[in-house]
Amino acid sequence: MSKENNTNVQAAELEHESLSDSVRALSPTRLVVKRFFRSRLSMVGLIIIIFLFLFSFVGPLLIPYRETQVFTIPTEVKVSTAESFTGADGKKYQYYDVSTGIDNYKSAPSKDHWLGTDTNGMDVFVRLMYGGRISLSISFLVIFLETILGVIFGGISGFFGGKIDMLIMRIVDILNCIPTLPVLIVLSSVLNAMPVSVMPVGHRIYYLMGFLTLIGWSGTARMVRGQILSLREQEYMVAAEATGISSKAKIFRHLIPNVMPQLIVQMTLGLGGVILYEATLSYLGLGVQIPKAAWGTMISLADPSKGQSILQYYPNLWIPPGILIVLAVLGFNFVGDGLRDAIDPKMKR
């Protein structure tokens, strides 16, 4: 009897325990992580980004070719020539001749070179990896610096208000009016004209991206300012004020952590934009220069104004980098969207 009672108690306790287990409160961070991983699209995005990182940072270690290694692979190509002559009857004749020539470059995809070689005889597949390195590292750098600038200026503006706020917000307004792409192109032609001793060709893209940072922080600053303005009205901030803590503690202990979620979302969504800017500049021939590889530069081979032959006959040279750009931007957008949905508690599933 007593034994039975005992087991009953035990069972009740167990049940109680399992109940408390199942309703155990999750910390907000865990909730966000859980919501994030439940969304399919954000998982897809995460996988794409991890794949791209492995591809461009680990990939080159596994392949013996170097970025600028030239492979001369003779391939037979049809060379058509046309000649005209004036015949005995006084008419003009034209004859066409198709012969086979040897082209050492632009070899077709093969077992050694999965995507063939480009117009300079460099391996396309390996250059895709190095292009990814440039794109990913530059975009992270730009977004990181932009966010720091944005948080500093937006924070000052929202926290102190008054004349400083006025001044910073007018600067932000002016920056918003600057057409980014045209200004970047102008700047790159300025850099173009500088002597190589002052401005090494390989460094140009970093200066351009630095400039992109300088005019790109306005969005972040505006967001941070708005957040801080609304946070200041919250009860817990009033309570923090009442305890008499220093403004430094207020900023770093209370305001920044609360702005952080939105900041991370904005950073993720911004990454795709920077990748597109970098690719566009490289496509126009103003960004990363050959022999350095960049996705945009690789696509520019297909520019119809430079002749159609690559656009028509060598899709292996320009379609893969395009797909990678799309994947990268898409991945960051998916992850950013997923994060936003996960962080925003109003969006219930």
Partner 1 sequence: MMPADYIDQHTSAQVAQGQLTKEDVKRMKELYGIGDSSFSGIMKSYGQWLSKAVRGDFGVSFVYGRPVQEVIQKYMWISFTISLIALILNILISIPLGIVAATKQYGVVDYTVTILAMTGISLPSFFFGALLLRVFSIQLGWFPLQGLSDATKILTGPEQVLDVIHHMVLPMVTLVVLSIGGLMRYTRTNMLEVLNSDYIRTARAKGLSEKTVIYKHAFRNTLIPIVTMLGGSIPGLFGGAMITETVFAIPGIGSTSYKAILQGDIPFVMGYMMFLAVLTVLGTILADISYAIVDPRVKLQ
33 is a site residue for partner 1 (CB under 8 A): no
Q: Of the two residues 73 and 327, which places its CB atom closer to partner 1 in the complex?
A: 327
Size of the site for partner 1 (CB under 8 A): 46
Q: Among 159, 153, 152, which Cα is nearest to 237's?
A: 159
98 is a site residue for partner 1 (CB under 8 A): no
Query: What x-and-dash track marks residues 41-80 binding partner 1 by CB under 8 A?
Result: x---------------------------------------
Q: Which helix (H) or strand (E) is 83 found in, with range?
A: strand 75-86
Q: Among 127, 140, 181, which Cα is nearest to 324's?
A: 127
- Where does residue 20 rank: exposed (0-12), middle (13-18), buried (19+ CB within 10 A)? exposed
Q: Could you say which of 14, 178, 238, 239 contacts partner 1 (CB under 8 A)?
A: 178
Count Cα neighbours of 326 within 13 Å in the Cβ-side half-sphere: 7
325 is a site residue for partner 1 (CB under 8 A): yes
Q: Give the nearest distance from C-beta 241 to partner 1 in angstroms.
A: 31
Distance between CA atoms of residues 113 and 63, nearest Å: 11
Distance between CA atoms of residues 157 and 218, nearest Å: 12
Q: Of the two residues 236 and 313, which places its CB atom closer to partner 1 in the complex?
A: 313
Q: Of the two residues 156 and 191, which places its CB atom closer to partner 1 in the complex?
A: 191
- Rg of the chain over Cα atoms, rounded to whole angstroms, equals 29
Of 104-112, 153-161, 184-192, 204-212, the window that binds partner 1 (rule: CB under 8 A) is: 184-192
* DSSP β-bridge partners for residue 339: none
Q: Of the two residues 165 and 344, which places its CB atom closer to partner 1 in the complex?
A: 344
Query: What x-and-dash track marks residues 130-169 binding partner 1 by CB under 8 A?
Result: ----------------------------------------
303 is a site residue for partner 1 (CB under 8 A): yes
Dihedral angle at the C-alpha atoms of 157, 163, 166, 170, nearest 10 degrees?
Answer: -110
Q: Of the two residues 224 and 299, which places its CB atom closer to partner 1 in the complex?
A: 299
Site for partner 1 in 327-346 (CB under 8 A): 327, 329-330, 333-334, 337
Q: Could you say which of 205, 279, 290, 317 contacts partner 1 (CB under 8 A)?
A: 279
272 is a site residue for partner 1 (CB under 8 A): yes
Q: Of the two residues 122 and 324, which places its CB atom closer to partner 1 in the complex?
A: 324
Q: Could you say which of 186, 238, 245, 249 contacts partner 1 (CB under 8 A)?
A: 186
Of 57-65, 67-75, 259-267, 321-329, the window that binds partner 1 (rule: CB under 8 A) is: 321-329
CA distance from start to end of the chain: 49
Of 74-82, 232-240, 248-256, 298-306, the window that binds partner 1 (rule: CB under 8 A) is: 298-306
- Asked whether the beta carbons of 295 and 260 are under 8 A apart, the reply is no
What percentage of the chain's residues is helix, strand, coil (to nearest 5)? 70, 10, 25
Integer angstrom CA distances of residue 226 from 204, 232, 259, 263, 342: 35, 10, 10, 12, 21
Site for partner 1 in 187-226 (CB under 8 A): 189-190, 192-194
Integer angstrom CA distances of residue 81 from 84, 94, 99, 243: 10, 10, 8, 88
Distance between CA atoms of residues 206 and 281, nearest Å: 12
Q: Of the two residues 122 and 184, which places its CB atom closer to partner 1 in the complex?
A: 184
Backbone angles phi, psi at 98, to 5 degrees: -110, 120
- Binding residues (CB under 8 A) for partner 1: these are 40-41, 176-179, 181-183, 185-186, 189-190, 192-194, 272, 276, 279-280, 283-284, 296, 299-300, 302-305, 308, 311-312, 315, 318-319, 322, 325-327, 329-330, 333-334, 337, 347, 349
